[in-house]
């Protein structure tokens, strides 16, 4: 749940003021259209469906609609439908009564009750199980619901904003999303373009990220060359604005505040094919071959972790300001680190078996026990995942 934001009270607010208030950066036609749509729909209670890739700023837009609405003084509750396991999604959304199931030691409000009077932002609505979609549609139509284990209906006044990175029409055609719910959500549809479709906004975004990061961390930065900015505009940014922000902040730290030219930038910019690896579960491969590929990827990840570990060692002993001073030699400093400290670090490395167990456990935790999504995250088949869960006696 996100605390109530400051209300934007001026109903005649200009686009520039609105852009500054909500933090939506850009002058591209796509962004200007989004700002106009936000102004138009905010004053109503109409349901809004926001479509866009991960990292494009869907929650930012939803928050803006809430802050411009008459509900701005009430809660703005954020729910990621894709992160809630199918077995408990009904309880999470609608709440439950004491004794409704094992472990229900008391009554509990669901997200809808928590958002009463305000706005509920349901992210990744396309991931919602079909069984939950039926009850979800009922509350949208009837404005009331029944807690799990309860017998009486409860009225609720909630404005809904939903978001997804899927094509819901396609999901409807494949039977993965209810047609009636889709029509109910699709009253006003806003598409947030990926960053590659509004490359002209990249310099403005970079400037904002640099300004904010340097101010927060009291770092002096010499800036990017024009060629470096052009290279960032030409990159495809699969992680969109979120990836660009993290990349800019990383560069400032790694390059220790020096001016970044195109050559320095390209040393750190990921290759396009780094994000296009196929799933290693073709039907003509045995489970042993799949497992070997899984281990190989784990080793590659470990190599990356070692590189990051070097940064952590330096960061533990050296302040950011010292690292940004001219003449600082990171390689010389690493050799000065106490050998006992390095021994402790070396002892933390795991066996291959331990690494597999840890990766599987983390994936299951992140997906709240959803084995299908965990298998997709790990890029292994569900059959392999089930076997590994049993082999490692994992509590999922």
- Mean of pLDDT values over 215-241: 93
Instruction: State whether CATH 1.10.8.60 applies to domain 198-274.
Output: yes
Which whole number is the average pLDDT over 245-254? Answer: 92
Per-residue b or e along 222-260, where b marks 16 or more CB atoms closer than 10 Å to that residue's CB: eebbeebbbbbbebebbbbbebbbebbbebbbebbbeeb
Backbone angles phi, psi at 271, to 5 degrees: -75, 150
Average pLDDT, the chain: 78
Highest mean pLDDT among 74-78, 139-143, 365-369, 374-378: 74-78
Residue 144 has what DSSP assignment?
E
pTM for the predicted model, two decimal places: 0.64
Question: Which range has the top average pLDDT, 139-153, 182-196, 315-329?
Answer: 182-196
C-beta neighbour count of 35 within 10 angstroms: 21
Token pair 């390689």: residue: 331
Mean pLDDT to the nearest integer, 303-318: 51
Task: Please give the CATH number for the structural domain made up of 15-193.
Answer: 3.40.50.300
Q: Which helix (H) or strand (E) holds 162?
A: strand 159-164
Asked if the model's pLDDT at residue 285 lies above 50, the reply is: no
Asked if 15-193 and 198-274 have one fold, the answer is no
Residue 56 CA to residue 62 CA, distance in Å, equals 12
184, 172 in Cβ contact below 8 A? no
Per-domain boundaries in the chain:
15-193, 198-274, 287-392
Q: What is the pLDDT of residues 37-73, one digit of tens each?
A: 998 999 999 999 999 999 999 999 999 999 999 999 9
* Per-residue confidence band for 242, with pLDDT thresholds at 50, 70 and 90: very high
125 or 136, which is more confident? 125
Statement: residue 289 has pLDDT above 60: no
22: pLDDT strictly greater than 80: no
205-208: list long-range contacts, CB under 8 Å, 24+ apart: 205/25, 205/26, 205/241, 205/244, 205/245, 206/232, 206/244, 206/248, 208/25
Pick the more confident residue, 114 or 280: 114
| Better pLDDT: 6 or 204 | 204
């Amino acid at each position: 749940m996100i605390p109530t934001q400051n209300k934007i009270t001026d109903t005649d607010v200009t686009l520039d003021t609105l852009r500054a208030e909500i933090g939506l950066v850009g002058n591209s036609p796509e962004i200007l259209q989004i700002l106009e749509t936000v102004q138009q729909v905010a004053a109503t209670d109409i349901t809004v469906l926001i479509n866009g890739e991960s990292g494009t700023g869907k929650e930012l837009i939803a928050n803006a609609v809430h802050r411009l609405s008459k509900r701005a003084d009430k809660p703005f509750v954020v729910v990621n439908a894709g992160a809630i396991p199918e077995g408990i999604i009904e309880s999470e959304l609608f709440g439950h009564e004491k004794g409704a199931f094992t472990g229900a030691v008391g009554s509990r409000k669901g997200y809808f009750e928590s958002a009463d009077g305000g706005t509920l932002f349901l992210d990744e609505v396309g991931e919602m199980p079909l069984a939950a979609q039926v009850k979800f549609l009922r509350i949208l139509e009837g404005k009331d619901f029944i807690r799990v284990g309860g017998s009486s209906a409860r009225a609720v006044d909630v404005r809904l904003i939903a978001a997804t990175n899927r094509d819901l029409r396609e999901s409807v055609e494949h039977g993965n999303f209810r047609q009636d719910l889709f029509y109910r959500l699709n009253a006003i549809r806003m598409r947030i373009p990926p960053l590659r479709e509004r490359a002209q906004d990249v310099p403005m975004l970079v400037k904002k990220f640099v300004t904010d990061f340097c101010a927060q961390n009291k770092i002096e930065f010499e800036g990017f060359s024009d060629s470096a900015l052009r290279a960032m505009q030409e990159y495809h940014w699969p992680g969109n604005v979120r990836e660009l922000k993290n990349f800019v902040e990383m560069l400032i730290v790694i390059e220790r505040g020096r001016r970044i030219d195109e050559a320095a930038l390209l040393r750190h910019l990921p290759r396009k094919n780094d994000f296009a690896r196929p799933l290693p579960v073709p039907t003509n491969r045995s489970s042993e071959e799949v497992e070997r590929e899984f281990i190989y990827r784990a080793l590659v990840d470990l190599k990356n972790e070692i590189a990051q570990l070097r940064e952590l060692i330096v960061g533990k002993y050296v302040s950011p300001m010292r690292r940004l001073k001219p003449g600082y030699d990171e390689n010389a400093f690493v050799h000065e680190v106490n050998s006992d400290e390095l021994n402790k670090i070396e002892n933390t490395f795991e066996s291959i078996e331990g690494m597999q167990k840890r990766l599987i456990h983390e994936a299951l935790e992140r997906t709240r026990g959803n084995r299908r999504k965990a298998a997709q995250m790990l890029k292994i088949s569900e059959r392999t995942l089930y076997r590994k869960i049993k082999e490692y006696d994992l509590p999922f």
